[in-house]
Amino acid sequence: MAILRTIGLALALGALPAAADVAVPLEPREGGIEILADAQQSIGRKSIYRGNVEFRSGGIVVTADEAEYDDETGELEARGDVHYRNLNGNEDLFAEKVAYDVREETGTFYETHGTVSSASQAGARILTTDNPFFIEGPLVTKAQNTYRVHDGTVTNCDPQSKWWTVRAPKTTIRPGDSATIHRGVFRLKGVPLLYVPVFKKSLERVPRKSGFLTPSIGNSSRFGAVLAQAYYWAINRSYDATVNGTIYTSRGFAAEASMRGRPTENSSFDAVFFGVEDRGPKQPNGERGDKQGGNSFTMSGVAALPGGFRAVADLRYLSSLEFRQAFTQTFEEAANSQVRSIGFITKNFSTYSINASLARDENFQTFQRGDTIVIRKLPSVEFNSHERRIVGGPAPIYLSFDSAFDLASRTQPEFQTRRFVQRGDLYPRLSSNFYWKGFHVTPTFGARLTGYGQRREEDGLSGRNLYRQSAEFGVDISPPALARIYNGPKWLGDKVKHVIEPRVRYRYRTGIDDFDAALLFDGRDLFHNTNEAEVSLTQRLFTKNQASGRTREILSLELWQRRYFDSDLGGAITAGRRNTVTTSLETTPFAFFDQARNYSPIAAALRTRPSDRWALEWRTDYDPLREKIVNSSVTADYQLFDNVLLGVGHNSVRSTPELSPASNQITNSLRYGGFNRRGWNFAVSSIYDYRQQVFVYAASQASYNTDCCGFGFEVRRFAIPTRSENQFRISLSIANVGSFGTLRPQERLF
């Protein structure tokens, strides 16, 4: 009977009209199925179609040369140039033959190639592409929303130029969910590079799936062979964690754990722990040097509390500066010797603010363990108000105040306060402002009362209380600005406006006759007597384009200097050492009081941006007492082309050793391209020390990105007291998948 049915089917096919006949219109079927073809023949429950067959069922569209459809079972068999599409997804497959069950949404595809999922994903440090995943294999099966490729290949490269492929006996793809490769072999330009027993990749737009991350394998002249493996745990929709273990064959084992969370809609936190169990660096004689291991911890978080309060935490711990410099991968972190932790609750209302905090500041003086200055405030409570008008009229009066109460302590080698030293501070001020013949005048009257539960004396610390009372008067005078408008050059603008803004400030404070008796915890303790005036002059250039009406500032030059009518600030200055006082901090970031003096350095700040492509900023201090420029800092950025950015900077400190160590460093950076740019990309960054005549830090990086992968190479140099090292790091980035190698995405120069 089977033979007779086959013969009958063949005869029926032979009796069908030729493709040139009039096409059969779309034929509605039960269940929303529609079929279009050049010719049709029905034999029992089966319908046979030939010539430009188009089958539609929901979002499924199948085109072929020939097709058979069983109305009873819902089975479709298509042959010849079969094209299968899912309009509700991203599946687009071509095959020689397809057997598809419309009702069960299952099917088998023979000699198949095409796409099954879009691969583009979010991520600032993930090489991305809009290419979907391309699959190819002799057999592909589909069950519901799952595709299995048997003995096939997967890539997201252009099929005409495949940079990489993965061939595996079985690959399971769930569009929009995940792709899993079993016993796959990764090939780069046909060369096998890596075997993966199981590899799973999320296909979600913002993926959050638990699993092992790509391993990192490399080599270091200081650490030996490096092998790192991390596991990502998506705990739930509000929390996730990552645990990473790294083996340094020459040094020891490192562990890193991080956790993120959003406990409520208005709260979040992020915590990271890093620790190294170090065996010590290997010496030329084969013995081990001092161990440099340690650990660090950081945690930041924020939360909105009832009643309009807001809680913020930024907690940091570091076991030693030597550990940081030995194992950090960034120069900025290695050069930072301060660790600050603070947690506070704050609320702002009207002109007032309430703050309560717990704080710990640790400053590492040297690499010796224990050589630190630790300042704690457990707790500190503040109640402040900015200017609040209490009297109106042409000369209004404003009230503002700062107040605080602390339980503080300070610990350092050979110096330690009590565990809790009470400190109270109240600083109310009355101010006004009025205009007189173009002059803007702002007088201020203030008083300050500060009390300490402990004090410094000549023979050390004393348990006696210290009370300081001071009164102050100040006035700020802004004379009328001078301005003139010129016809400007076309490269700047149609009009150029030159403005000169003079300003005079006077301050008088008295009552602090025992400056050295106060314990130093923060800036509140640096108040001193003074009788000073500051004169500043600011020049600005503005340009205007008449057509667009756009106005912008292209240059500003500000000069200022303070004159001290009380040369030793009421006894606050001790000759022969560095003195940190309020007036010096307000004038310049660099210390200049190592003796009594009647004037500060002349400070200058030049900022210019003639066009959107380049900018320059120069900050310098000229000290007439030493007849030279004592501090200088200049930075310049220039965007040569859309993808080329050049940056140069120079920092110089030339004051006396009592004030600050001498420094003379130049920094430069050059970047061409970007992280996701196709083709070649380059970046260079360095810090050169003229005094040591050495690059204390230098990094060069090159990458080449295709439409589906990227190759990176970096050379990095450290030359700091605890570390002299050359690093060579490489990476292979697979677009929308991840990176392999020792050059981590978060450490790239671009």
The verdict on residue 443 lying in a domain is no
My answer on whether 546 and 678 are in the same domain is no
Q: What are phi and psi of 344, to 5 degrees?
A: -145, 160
My answer on whether 639 and 685 are in the same domain is no
Task: Render pLDDT for 300-324 as a digit per residue (tens, 0 to 9).
Answer: 999 999 999 999 999 999 999 989 8
Predicted confidence at residue 11, as pLDDT, reads 34
Q: Which contiguous run of DSSP H or E holds residue 454? A: none
Q: What are phi and psi of 43, to 5 degrees?
A: -130, 100
188 beta partners: 164, 191
Predicted confidence at residue 610, as pLDDT, reads 87
My answer on whether 561 and 678 are in the same domain is no
Q: What whole-number percentage of the chain has pLDDT above 90?
A: 57
Neighbours of 361 (CB within 10 A): 18
Q: What are phi and psi of 458, to 5 degrees?
A: -60, -35
My answer on whether 6 and 81 are in the same domain is yes
**Hey, what amino acid is at 632?**
S
Q: How far is CA 698 from the centre of its chain?
A: 21
Residue 518's closest CA among 570, 587, 588, 592? 570
Distance CA 105, CA 94 (A): 17
Task: Render pLDDT for 115-158 as a digit per residue (tens, 0 to 9).
Answer: 887 655 555 567 888 888 899 999 999 988 889 999 999 998 98
Q: Which contiguous run of DSSP H or E holds residue 326? A: helix 321-327
Predicted confidence at residue 451, as pLDDT, reads 95
Is pLDDT at 7 greater than 60 in this prediction? no
Task: Render pLDDT for 657-689 as a digit per residue (tens, 0 to 9).
Answer: 889 889 999 999 999 998 888 899 999 999 999
My answer on whether 639 and 600 are in the same domain is yes
In the structure encoding, which two tokens stand for residue 418, read together? 């009590």
Among candidate residues 150, 179, 199, the one where a domain is terminated: 199
192 beta partners: 187
Q: What share of the chain is helix, strand, coil (3-state, %, to 5)?
A: 5, 65, 30
Distance CA 670, CA 749 (A): 10
My answer on whether 96 and 188 are in the same domain is yes
- 620, 636 Cβ separation under 8 angstroms: no
The verdict on residue 326 lying in a domain is no
- DSSP label at 21? S
My answer on whether 636 and 677 are in the same domain is no
The verdict on residue 745 lying in a domain is yes
118 beta partners: 132
Residue 296's closest CA among 251, 231, 263, 341? 341
The verdict on residue 642 lying in a domain is yes
- 390, 397 Cβ separation under 8 angstroms: yes
Is residue 143 helix, strand or coil?
strand
Query: Buried b / exposed e across 705-727, counting CB within 10 Å, b at 16+?
Result: bbebbbbbebebbbbeeebeeeb
The verdict on residue 242 lying in a domain is no
In the structure encoding, which two tokens stand for residue 200, read together? 């799973």
The verdict on residue 279 lying in a domain is no
The verdict on residue 21 lying in a domain is yes
My answer on whether 544 and 678 are in the same domain is no
Grade residue 8 by pLDDT with cuts at 50, 70 and 90.
very low
Predicted confidence at residue 118, as pLDDT, reads 61
* Cα angle value 4/5/7 (rounded, 5°): 65
Task: Render pLDDT for 587-604 as a digit per residue (tens, 0 to 9).
Answer: 999 999 999 999 999 999
In the structure encoding, which two tokens stand for residue 298, read together? 């950081």
Predicted confidence at residue 28, as pLDDT, reads 54
My answer on whether 146 and 8 are in the same domain is yes
Predicted confidence at residue 527, as pLDDT, reads 92
Is pLDDT at 25 greater than 70 in this prediction? no
Distance CA 532, CA 563 (A): 5
Higher pLDDT, 6 or 377: 377
Enter the pTM of the model: 0.79
Burial class (CB in 10 A: 0-12, 13-18, 19+), 653: middle
Task: Render pLDDT for 618-662 as a digit per residue (tens, 0 to 9).
Answer: 999 999 999 999 999 999 999 988 889 999 999 999 988 889 889
My answer on whether 638 and 682 are in the same domain is no
Among candidate residues 199, 221, 244, the one where a domain is terminated: 199
Grade residue 367 by pLDDT with cuts at 50, 70 and 90.
confident
Residue 601's closest CA among 653, 658, 649, 651? 653
Task: Render pLDDT for 179-205 as a digit per residue (tens, 0 to 9).
Answer: 899 999 999 988 998 888 988 887 776
Residue 456's closest CA among 415, 515, 517, 411? 517
Which residues make Cβ contacts (< 8 Å) with residue 657, sequence separation at least 6? none
Is pLDDT at 267 greater than 70 in this prediction? yes
Task: Render pLDDT for 412-427 as a digit per residue (tens, 0 to 9).
Answer: 988 899 989 999 999 9
Q: Domain containing 81 — which CATH number?
A: 2.60.450.10
Higher pLDDT, 335 or 687: 687
The verdict on residue 451 lying in a domain is no
My answer on whether 595 and 499 are in the same domain is yes
My answer on whether 606 and 721 are in the same domain is no
In the structure encoding, which two tokens stand for residue 542, read together? 């503005």
Grade residue 335 by pLDDT with cuts at 50, 70 and 90.
confident
Task: Render pLDDT for 556-573 as a digit per residue (tens, 0 to 9).
Answer: 999 999 999 999 999 999
Total of domains in the chain: 3
- 302, 318 Cβ separation under 8 angstroms: no
Domain carrying residue 678? 662-750
Q: How far is CA 251 from CA 276, 283, 290, 537, 635, in A?
A: 9, 12, 11, 58, 39
